[in-house]
Structure 1
Amino acid sequence: MPTLTGEAEAGLTRRWLSPMMRNILLVNALPLVLLAVTVLYLNQFHTGLLQGEVGALREQARIYAGALGQSAVTTLPAPKQAARAVGGRAAAEGDSVQLAPDVARLLLRRLTEPSPSAVARLYAPDGQAIAGSAGSEHGLCPPPGRARRQGFADWLGGWLGIAEAAARPTERNGERGERGSERTAEHVLVIRAHPQLTVPEVSVDSAADCQPAVRERVVLPEEPGSNEAPPNIWRTVDGRLLVQVVEPVVHEGHTIGIVQLTREASGVDRTLFEVRASIFGLTLIALALTVLLSWYLSLTIARPILSLARAARVMRDNAGRTFSVPTRLRARRDEIGLLASTLDESAQALWTRMDAIERFAADVAHEIKNPLSSIRSAIETALRIGDVEQQKRLLTIIGHDVRRLDRLITDISDASRVDAELSRTRPERVAVAPILSVMAEMNEATREADGPLLVVEAESDTRPGREGQPLAVWAVEDRLVQVLRNLIGNAESFSPPAGRIWLRVAEAGRGFVSIAIEDEGPGIPPAKLESIFDRFYTERPAAERFGQHSGLGLSISRQIVTNLRGNLAAQNRTDASGAILGAKFVVTLPRAF
C-alpha cells in the first residue's frame, strides 16, 4: 500500500511552494497578470500612436509653411502696407513682404495633392482666410446621404471605444468625399514660435459649411521645453478621430501667415481597434484558461477533499472498523495524499486505542473481581465459624485483599492518567546520568545488608562543543523517573542476595540514547519477552508473597516510553556459551540536541 514516507512528508513540510500551492498561484495570478500587462501596453500604445500622428502632421505642416514662406510672397510699398495694416503689428519702414493670395492658393493645392487625406488652410496673421486645399470647403463631415448602421457592430465598436468610421478607408478626389477641418469662431489658436519672432494671438474663423459636433477632446502630455503650439485632437459624435496642428509661415524672421493642417487619424483608430480586438481575444483565452484551470483545481483538490469527507463519515459509522481511505488518495504525492494517509493512520490508531480501552476495562473488571470474590468468601466463612483464631486468619486475608485492591486501583488510575498527562506536557531536555546517580545514592542509603547494589556506568557526550557533558534526552522528568523506578524495582525483586544491578547510559546512534537496567537474576523466559508488558501479567519469584504487584508496572512503563517517542524492550544477558546471566531492560529515547 503506497503511502508518503516520513522523509517525503518532511520534504513537503519544508517546501513552502508545494505542488498545490503552485496550482493555486497559477489559477489566481494568470488572469490578473495578463490583464495588467495588456492594460499598461494599451495606454502607452495609444499615446504613442497619437504622438506619432501629431509628429507626422506637424512635419508636413512645416514643409507647407516653409514652401509658402519662400515662394508665395509679394512685396508691398510702405504706404500701401500701412494702409492695409490691421490692428496687428505696426507698419515698418520701407517695403514689406506678405503672402500673395493667388500664388499661395495655387501652391497650397499643389503641395496637398500627394496627401489628399489632409485638409490644409492658410490664414493671414490677422486670422483672415487666404487659401485652402482641395475639399477644404466641405469640412470634415461624413459624405452626404450616408446613413449609419445600428446594431451589434455599433454596440461592439462602442464597447471597444471606436466607431464604424475607424475601419473605413480614406476617400480620394471625386470618388471619395472630401474632408475639411472643424474650427469654431470662438476657438483661439496661440502659435508659439522662436523667441525672436513676434507671433500674434489670432482668432481663426472656419469657412467650412459643415462643422462636426465634438464628442470629446483628447489632450496629450506636453513635452517640457517645447515652444510649439499644442495640437488639437478631438473625436466627433460619429466616432471619427481628428488631429489638427498649426505652423507659422515665416519669411526673413517675420510671421506672414499661419498654416492649419487637419487630418482624420483613421490609422490610429484602425490600429487601436486591432489591438483592442486582440486584447478581447486574449481575454477570452484567459477566461477559457481560467475555467479549465478551475476545473483542474476542482478535480485535484475539491473532489478529493469531498472523497476524504465521505471516507471519514463512513469510518465513523462503520461498526466493523474495516473501512479505510481509498488507496488512490493515499498514493498521491501532494498534500491530499499526506492528508489521506494521516486520516487513515489516525482512524487506525483511534480504533486501536478503542480496542485497548475495551480490553483494559475487561481486564480491570477481571482483576478487581478476584480480590472481591476472595473478600466475600472470607466474610461468609467468618460468619459461619466461631473459632477466634480462624476468624483472625480470615480477617488477615481480607486485609491483604483490601491492600491488593487499593494497589490495583492506584495503578489503574495511574495508567489511565498517563496518556492525558503526556499529551498536555511538553518534553524537555533531561540529563540521564545525574538522575541515575541520585537513585543509586538513595538505594545505598536505604538498602539492607544483603540487598542488591546499584552500579552506574554513564558515557559522556562526544559531540563537538559538548565534550564531557552528560547525555540528555527529550522526556518528562517525573515520568522518566517513574519508569526507572519500576524497572529498578523489578530488577531488585529478581536479584540474588548481595547481587548487582547495572544502570548504563550510552549513545544508541541515529539520534537516540539508550538506558539499560541489567540484573543477575534468573532472566526472562524467551517466550515471555513480550508478554511481560501485557496488562496484569505477573511472573514473580516463588518466594514472593502473592498480591504484592498488580501486573501494571511494566505496561505503564512501556506506555510512558512510547508516548515519549521511544521504545522499551526486554532481553536476557548471556555469556559466550548462551547461558542466561540475568535480565536486561533497554529504554531508548530521542537524544536532546
Structure 2
Amino acid sequence: MVLDTVTRRASGALTSVRGASFSRLAWIILVANGLALIVLVIGMLAVSETRRGLVNAKLDALRVEGELIANVMAEGAAESDPSPILIEGDARLLLRDLYIPDEVRARIYNKAAQLVADTHLLNNRLDVIVLPPPGEDLPSDLAEDARSVLSRALDGFGGLFRTAEERAALNRTLEEEVAAAIEGDIVAGVRRQPDGSRVVSVTVPIQPVRAVVGVVTLESFDLDELIADERRALFPFILMAALVSILSSLMLTVFIARPIRRLAKAARRVRLAKGRRVEMPSLAGRRDEIGELGEALRSMTAALYDRMDAIEQFAADVAHELKNPLTSIRSAAEILPRAKSADQRDKLLAVIASDVRRMDRLITDIARASRLDAELAREDVGQVDLVNLIGDTVSSYETALASGPAVVFETTLESGPVEGRAAPIGQVIRNLIDNALTFSPADGRVTIRLSLEAGDELAITVDDEGPGIPPESLETIFKRFYTERPQGAEFGSHSGLGLAIARQIVRVHGGDIRAENRTDADGKIAGARFVVTFPRAAQI
C-alpha cells in the first residue's frame, strides 16, 4: 500500500540547486582542473615563443656574419682571371685574422666541397676525450644518461609542432648543406649532428662576381644549452601546475569522493541491518548534487522504514480483523452439533453465513487496498476533468438507485482540470458517495459540489443528512478498519477501508481530504461533510 506517511514525504520534493544554468559541482571540477592546465599551457607557450625567437635571432646573426665573411673572401682570397678560383692560403690567413666568437665555428670550403680553413684548427681548439685504461670501458654516468633519455623524449614530443622546413633542416647533413650552398643558395637552419646534439648552422656561397668559388659555414653549438636553460625555466610552472593539481585532487576527494563513500557505507549498513533503522549521514549543508543525493537517500530510507513499519501494522490489523469472524465461525461450528432444535441450528448457520460474507468482504477490500500501489504506478497520469467525472458518477447512482436518498451534483464550473488518473479519483468519489448513502435517511439527500477555492484549488464537497460524525472521530475515521455503524445497520457490512483508501489516493495526487460536521441555523448537527481538494491543472 501507499502509506500516508510515505505519501506525505513524497509530496515534498527535494530542493534542487537553483539560480544557475550550470551545476555548482561541475563548476568546482572545471575550475579545479582548469587552473593546473592553464598554468602549464601559459608556461609552455611562453617558453616555446622564447625558444623560437632565440633560434631565429641566432640564425639572423650568423647569416649577417656569414655574408660579411663571404664578401671579405670574395674580395681578398679569390681571383677571376683567367677563371674564378678561391686562393686557399689567402682564405686561411683572412679567416685567422677575422674575429669569430668562441661559441661560433667557421669553416671555408672550396668549390669541390673540400675543407680549406677551420677556426677550431687555426686556433688549436680541439675536443678532448679522456680514455680509460686499456681493457676498461668508459664509465657510465646514470644522471647524464637519464637527462639524455629525457631530452630525446622531449625533443620527440616537440617534433610534433615543427614545420616541414624545420624537420628537413634537422635531418640535413653538413655535406648536404655545403653542396646546396655551392649551387648558389644560402642555407640556414638547425640540424642534428651524429652525436645527437643540435647546431645552428648557416652556409653562405662565396661569389666574386656571379660564379661560386667556395662557401662559408658558420655553426653555433650552444643551442642545446639554451634549450636546457629554458626547460629549467619551465620547472617553476610545472611545479605550480603539479601543486594546483594535487590540491584540486585533494579538494575533489574531500568534497566528492569522501561524501559519496560515506553514503555508500551507510547504504551498505541499511542493506545489512535487516530492518533495523540506520540513519543516513546528513549532507543538508551542501548546496550541490552531492547534498541533494544525500537528502534523497535520507528521504528514501526514511520512507522505506515507514513503509516497513506500516506493512507490519497493516498485517497486524488484518490479522485482528480476520480473527473476529473466524472466532465467531469456530464457536458457531463447535456449538452446531450440540444444537437441540432446528431454530437454534438455523441461527447458528445464519451466524456462520454472515461471518463468511464479512470475511469475503474484508478479503476483497484488503486485496483492493494492497493492489492500489501497483495500480497507481501502472496507470498513466493525464488531465482529468472533474466536472465530467463527477457528473458521470452521479448519473450512474441516479440510474442504479430506484429508492433511497437522492444524489445531486451542483457546480458553476464549466471544467475542472486536475493532473491525475481518472479511475482512482472516480473511486474516491464513489467511496464518499457510498459512505454518505449509508448514513443518510431513506428520504434524505446527498449533495456533491465542485468549486474553485482560493489558491487555485478545486474542492469537491460531499454533504449528507445523517447523524454527523463525533468530534473526536473526525480524524480517526480515516484510519484502516475503523467503522462507525449507523443505527440499525447490519454488523460487518463495512470493512472500514473505504475512507482510508480515499485519503491514500487523494494524497498520492497531491491533494487533501478532511471531514467536518454541518450545522443548521440552531447550531445543531445537520449531517457530515467531506471536503477533497486537488491542485487545479492548467487548461490544455
Fold-level match, TM-score > 0.5?
yes
Change (3 A) 1:476 1:548: same
Structure 2 residue runs of 5 or longer lacking an equivalent are 1-8, 133-137, 153-171
Aligned letter for 1:258?
G
Residue from 244, 247, 271 that aligns with 2:201? 244
Output aligned runs, 1:180-191, within 5 Å. Answer: 189-191=178-180
SS of the residue 2:459 aligns to? strand
Query: Which amino acid counterpart does residue 345 of structure 1 have in structure 2?
Result: S
The structure that is helix-richer by fraction is 2
Read off the aligned partner of 2:192 and give its amino acid letter: W
CA offset digits 1:339-364 (Å, max 9, x no partner): 33222222222222222222222222
Q: Does the 8 Å contact 1:506/1:515 carry over to 2?
A: yes
Task: Give 2:303's match in structure 1, choosing from 335, 339, 349.
Answer: 349
Describe the SS at the equivalent of 1:10. coil
After superposition, residues 328-343 of structure 1 pair within 5 angstroms as 329-343=283-297
Q: Which residue of 2 aligns with 1:113?
A: 99
Aligned runs of 1:120-269 on 2, under 5 Å? 120-127=106-113, 132=117, 134-137=119-122, 141-143=126-128, 151-161=141-151, 189-191=178-180, 200=183, 228-231=186-189, 233-237=191-195, 240-252=197-209, 254-266=210-222, 268-269=223-224
Paired amino acid for 1:155: D
SS at structure 1 position matched to 2:207: strand
Conservation of the 8 A alpha-carbon contact between 1:457 and 1:502: no
CA distance in 2, matches of 1:69, 1:6: 96
CA distance in 1, matches of 2:409, 2:280: 51
- 1:61–1:353 Cα change, 3 Å: same
- The separation in 1 between residues aligned to 2:92 and 2:58, in whole angstroms, is 25
Aligned counterpart, 1:62:
67
**Paired residues for 1:303-452 under 5 Å:** 303-315=258-270, 321=276, 323-327=278-282, 329-452=283-406
Q: What are the ranges of 5 or more consecutive residues in structure 1 without an aligned counterpart?
A: 86-96, 163-182, 193-198, 202-226, 461-469
Query: Cα gap change, 1:21/1:578 in structure 2, threshold over 3 Å: closer, same or farther?
Result: farther
One-letter code aligned to 1:555: A
Q: CA deviation at 1:246?
A: 1.7
Between the aligned partners of 1:298 and 1:38, the Cα distance in structure 2 is 27
CA distance in 2, matches of 1:24, 1:185: 52
Per the TM alignment, residue 233 of structure 1 is displaced from its structure 2 partner at its CA by 1.8
- Over 3 Å counting, the alpha-carbon distance change for 1:150 and 1:65 in structure 2 is same
1:566 to 511, 514, 519: 511
Partner AA of 1:543 in structure 2: G
1:543-582 pair list within 5 angstroms: 543-574=488-519, 579-582=524-527
471 and 265 in structure 1: CA distance in 2 versus 1, 3 angstrom threshold: farther
Q: How far is the alpha carbon of 1:150 from its aligned partner?
A: 5.3
- Matched with 1:20 is 25
1:11 maps to: 17
User: Are 1:532 and 2:477 counterparts?
Assistant: yes
The Cα of 1:538 is off from its aligned counterpart by 1.0
1:119–1:136 CA contact under 8 A, matched in 2: no
- Shift of residue 485, structure 1, vs aligned partner: 0.5
Alignment partner of 2:192: what SS? strand
Shift of 1:397: 2.8
Report how far residue 107 of structure 1 moved.
4.2
CA distance in 2, matches of 1:587, 1:332: 38
After superposition, residues 428-507 of structure 1 pair within 5 angstroms as 428-457=382-411, 459-460=413-414, 470-507=415-452
In structure 1, the partner of 2:256 is 301
Equivalent position SS for 1:524: coil
Q: Which amino acid aligns with 1:62?
A: E
Deviation at 1:486, TM superposition (A): 0.3
Cα 1:524–1:139 shift into 2, 3 Å: farther
Note if contact 2:16-2:292 (Cα within 8 Å) is conserved in structure 1.
Answer: no
Q: CA deviation at 1:413?
A: 1.0
SS at match of 1:491: helix
1:179 matched residue in structure 2: none
Native 8 Å contact 1:514 1:588 kept in 2: yes
Letter in 2 for 1:189: V
Q: Which secondary structure state, in structure 2, belongs to the residue aligned with residue 521 of structure 1?
A: coil
Alignment partner, residue 210 of structure 1: none
Distance, in Å, in 2 between the alignment partners of 1:47 and 1:141 is 30
Deviations, residues 280-310 of structure 1 (Å, cap 9, x unaligned): 4544443444333333333223332333334
Q: Which whole-Å CA distance do the structure 2 matches of 1:291 and 1:127 have between them?
A: 58
Distance across 2 between alignment mates of 1:578 and 1:121:
125
1:552 is displaced (CA, Å) by 0.9
Query: TM-score w.r.t. structure 2 length?
Result: 0.80
Kept after mapping to 2: 8 A contact 1:455/1:500: no
How far 1:33 sits from its partner (Å)? 6.3
Structure with the greater relative contact order (CA < 8 A, sep ≥ 6): 1 or 2?
A: 2
Change over 3 Å in CA distance of 1:6–1:279 after alignment to 2: farther
Query: Relative to structure 1, is the Cα distance of residues 152 and 571 closer, same or farther in structure 2, using a 3 angstrom cutoff?
Result: farther
TM-superposed deviation, 1:400: 1.9
SS in 1 for 2:211: strand
- For 1:272, the equivalent position in structure 2 comes to 227
Native 8 Å contact 2:465 2:526 kept in 1:
yes
Amino acid corresponding to residue 55 of structure 2 in structure 1: L
* TM-score normalised by length of structure 1: 0.73
**Distance (Å, rounded) in 2 between the aligned partners of 1:232 and 1:357:** 83
CA distance in 1, matches of 2:439, 2:535: 29
Q: Work out whether residues 427 and 564 of structure 1, in 8 Å CA contact, stay in contact via their aligned partners in 2.
A: no
Letter in 1 for 2:217: L
Shift of 1:588: 2.9
- How many angstroms apart in 2 are the aligned matches of 1:322 and 1:491? 41
Aligned with 2:266: secondary structure? helix
For 1:122, give the aligned amino acid. Answer: I
In 1, Cα distance between equivalents of 2:230 and 2:12: 53
Tell me if the contact between 1:301 and 1:336 (Cα under 8 Å) persists in the aligned partners: yes
- The one-letter amino acid paired with 2:58 is E
Alpha carbons of 1:275 and 1:186: their partners in 2 closer, same or farther (altered >3 Å)?
Answer: closer
Cα separation, 1, equivalents of 2:524 and 2:411: 24
